[in-house]
Amino acid sequence: MALVSLRNQELSEAAAGDRAKQFLTRIKEALVAAGWSFIGCGDGVDDVSVNLAGGATDYFPTFPAITGLGDGAWFAVENAGGAQLVFQNPSADDVFMYWSASGAYTDDSPTHSVRLGGTTPPADEITMQQSYAGFGTYAGQKFTIIYDDTATSFIVFGAYGSNQPLGGFFLTLNGIKTGDSTPYVAWWYFRSGYDVWDYLYNPVADDIMGWHPGGSAREYCFGRSWFDGVDMMSIIGPDPVSGDDPLMDCLVGCQEPTAYQIRGVAPYIKWMSDLRSTGNKFDSDRYMGVGQVAIDGWNSEDALES
């Protein structure tokens, strides 16, 4: 398994809705390159293809072009574990995300602008919390996609000015219990002028979501470690023996009182000290700091651009 980073990708179109289409195009390319099965797409104009077994016809242009894409353009993919995701640019400057943990989408006769599942969604479909502003809000917004080449997980993040307003992921958790058939959590968030990566441990309602083993969509969050009543990562400095900056695993659990559960450990995302900042790198450029976390797979001397 290797991590691949598409660093500092720029949304260069003049119109906000067109920038959202650029983002849609790039995330599609990343997931297909990672080995996700391409099960459907519509170009928002006149072409549509569905093949739930994989190998649907791809009507998307190559990033950064948006030639041939209209409002309502969408695509659908399936990861190595069988989870299915659908992304769509509606008639606005945003990109929406929907997913079925069990991979239960059916061919409900989608069109070029009516997405897979738009007519008959699966029983376990989760609609992600939509952003407070569109992914195409900022002209020149830069973003990074990090994905594993085993078609299981991906992470999206981006800074703009002094803020890091763009974040999202679909993660196949590590350390899961035997028999957990849907060990996934997802997050999809843009909020202009905001630091969205600072709130993984205290997310708003319906922000980080997963399909709970009890058979329903539930809210999840990332747990931080406390020692003797102190949030250690808020104050911790370099290790006194090695001198290295500490990075700590993120436990992921259900935060709803009727369904408390430690589900597993987030791959590729670790807590970093609050004494460090967005743009800091760790472990010979392997990790990039964003908000309160360090994200694996940067693997470059490049700086985080905004």
The secondary structure of 7-23, three-state, reads EEEECCCCCHHHHHHHH
Is residue 301 assigned to a domain?
Answer: no
**For the CA atoms of the chain, what is the radius of gyration?**
19
SS3 call for 117: coil
Domain count, the chain: 1
Is residue 32 assigned to a domain?
Answer: yes
SS3 call for 233: helix
Is residue 303 assigned to a domain?
Answer: no
Is residue 304 assigned to a domain?
Answer: no
Instruction: Write out the DSSP string of 61-104.
Output: --TT--TT--TT-EEEEE-TTS-EEEEE--SSS--EEEEETT--
- Residue 133 pLDDT exceeds 80: no
Instruction: Compute φ and ψ for 233, nearest 5 degrees.
Output: -70, -10
Burial of 102-129, coded b for 16+ CB within 10 Å and e otherwise, reads bbebeeeebebbbbbbbeebbebbbbbb
- Residue 132 pLDDT exceeds 80: no
Q: Can you tell me which residue has the tokens 């006149």?
A: 46
Average pLDDT over residues 250-265: 95
More confident residue, 60 or 192: 60
On whether the CB atoms of residues 155 and 295 are closer than 8 A, the answer is yes
Is residue 107 assigned to a domain?
Answer: yes
Domain that holds residue 57: 8-296
- State residue 221's pLDDT score: 96
On whether the CB atoms of residues 147 and 3 are closer than 8 A, the answer is yes
Is residue 243 assigned to a domain?
Answer: yes
Burial of 21 (0-12, 13-18, 19+ CB in 10 A): buried
- State residue 131's pLDDT score: 67
Is residue 186 assigned to a domain?
Answer: yes
- State residue 25's pLDDT score: 98
- Residue 209 pLDDT exceeds 90: yes
- Residue 94 pLDDT exceeds 80: yes
Q: Considering the chain, what is the average pLDDT of its residues?
A: 95
Name the residue among 215, 255, 180, 211 with its Cα closest to residue 99.
211
What CA–CA distance (Å, rounded) separates 306 from 298? 15
- Residue 130 pLDDT exceeds 70: no
Average pLDDT over residues 148-162: 96
- State residue 202's pLDDT score: 86
On whether the CB atoms of residues 66 and 13 are closer than 8 A, the answer is yes
What CA–CA distance (Å, rounded) separates 126 from 205? 14
Terminal CA-CA length for the chain: 29
- Residue 263 pLDDT exceeds 80: yes
Take residue 64 and report the two structure tokens written for it: 């950064």
Is residue 3 assigned to a domain?
Answer: no
Burial of 260 (0-12, 13-18, 19+ CB in 10 A): exposed
